[in-house]
Amino acid sequence: MKLLITGGAGFIGSHVVRLFVNKYPGYEIINLDKLTYAGNLENLKDVEDASNYRFVKGDISDLDFINKLFEKEKFNGVIHLAAESHVDRSITNPLDFVETNVIGTVNLLNAYKAYCDLSTGRFYHISTDEVYGELGDEGKFTESTPYHPNSPYSASKASSDHFVRAYGTTYNLPYVISNCSNNYGSHQFPEKLIPLFIHNIKTRKPLPVYGKGENIRDWLWVNDHARAIDVIYHNGRNGETYNIGGNNEWKNIDLIHLLCSQMDQKLNRPEGTSEQLITYVKDRAGHDFRYAIDSSKLMAELGWEPSVTFEEGLSKTIDWYLENKEWLDHVTSGEYQNYYNEQYVLR
């Protein structure tokens, strides 16, 4: 099995690459990544010398490059994670999201159709629950919830999901799609809520809570998402969508209180120290109120379930950031400071 994983130097992608490289020594695994601000080869230090693994630097929106790569490599399958992934950045730069998430995905589909042996693998598109829009107080997203994306990010992911499904129907491509809730864990770029707040608490900076902190997200430990991707790639049914969630809804402000309390303990600061950093700031434009995922299809069909409680997962996550000071220092230097200032200083 010659398997292309795109976006393997990012947060979720690096966990998927690590799992596949360690679990499938007989596979040839190629990680294609542009190494944007979010891509980081330090995420893959422990597998970079493995004999079944190779890294290729490249941009999925570069048609010529993608065609040449696919023609040369003749992959059996693709697990496609490369994307612009941060909602706030999509509000300031929507076109970057069209280029990578929409055009990049269509380039991969065309190359897959033209150069791959469709009988040996499949095109697996990794997507998000945000394509379904927002929920009120009740109910959960199922695989048949109509799409209603509200941010430029989720609109670009919804579009790419539609292209994958349309290529399946029109050209008979074997594909599978999964839509997952908010991930947290090690190696996540500190622009997303949990690693941003861990970093700010550590350095005693304000914790910028959007709006009233009442928005609700369903959180899943990234290693559990990677395990789901493994079972869906190998055992999911072609042409199907699988929702993946943690059955773990948290109101932002409640999650932040838990994070503050765990951080106080781990940093040996008096209880209540980190909470003093909480600062309510201007809300995100178009901020979806609530996401909740029904993953019963995946659980019943493929026997997957989350492996840790949120308290355990969060504790392991904090420990990782505190133990990997160099990683955090590297990713929060340079360009990160400009992003941070633009996003938060005058907010």
**198 forms part of the interface with ligand NAD (CB under 6 A):** no
Q: Give Cα separations from 34 to 158, 201, 237, 339 (angstroms).
A: 22, 31, 30, 19
Q: Evaluate whether 302 touches 230 at the Cβ level (below 8 Å).
A: no
Burial of residue 154, with CB atoms counted within 10 A of its CB: 0-12 exposed, 13-18 middle, 19 or more buried: buried
Instruction: Give whichever of 60 and 260 is closer to ligand NAD, judged by the CB atom.
Output: 60
Question: Annotated catalytic, 147?
Answer: no
Q: Strands, DSSP E only, in 160-265?
A: 175-180, 182-184, 207-210, 216-221, 240-244, 249-251
> Residue 34 binds which one of ligand TDX, ligand NAD, none, with CB within 5 to 8 A depending on kind?
ligand NAD
**At closest approach, how far in Å is the CB of 157 from ligand NAD?**
5
Q: Which residue is nearest to ligand NAD (CB)?
A: 10
> Residue 140 binds which one of ligand TDX, ligand NAD, none, with CB within 5 to 8 A depending on kind?
none
The DSSP bridge partners found for residue 244 are: 180
> Residue 230 binds which one of ligand NAD, ligand TDX, none, with CB within 5 to 8 A depending on kind?
none
Of these residues, 130, 161, 218, 224, which one is catalytic? 130
Per-residue buried b or exposed e for 51-68, using 16+ beta carbons within 10 Å of the residue's own CB: ebbebeebbbbbeebbee
CA-based end-to-end distance of the chain? 49
The residues of the shown chain that bind ligand TDX, judged by CB under 6 A, are 85-87, 128, 130, 182, 192-193, 196, 208-210, 215, 217, 252, 284
Q: Which two tokens stand for residue 153?
A: 């990010």
Q: Evaluate whether 221 touches 305 at the Cβ level (below 8 Å).
A: no
The angle formed by the CA atoms of residues 10, 16 and 22, to the nearest 5 degrees, is: 125
**At closest approach, how far in Å is the CB of 295 from ligand TDX?**
15
Of these residues, 88, 129, 230, 288, which one is catalytic? 129
> Residue 217 binds which one of ligand TDX, ligand NAD, none, with CB within 5 to 8 A depending on kind?
ligand TDX
**126 forms part of the interface with ligand NAD (CB under 6 A):** yes
Catalytic amino acids? 129-130, 153
**Which residues form the interface with ligand NAD (CB under 6 A)?**
6-7, 9-13, 33-36, 38-39, 59-61, 81-85, 100, 104, 126, 128, 157, 180, 182-183, 189
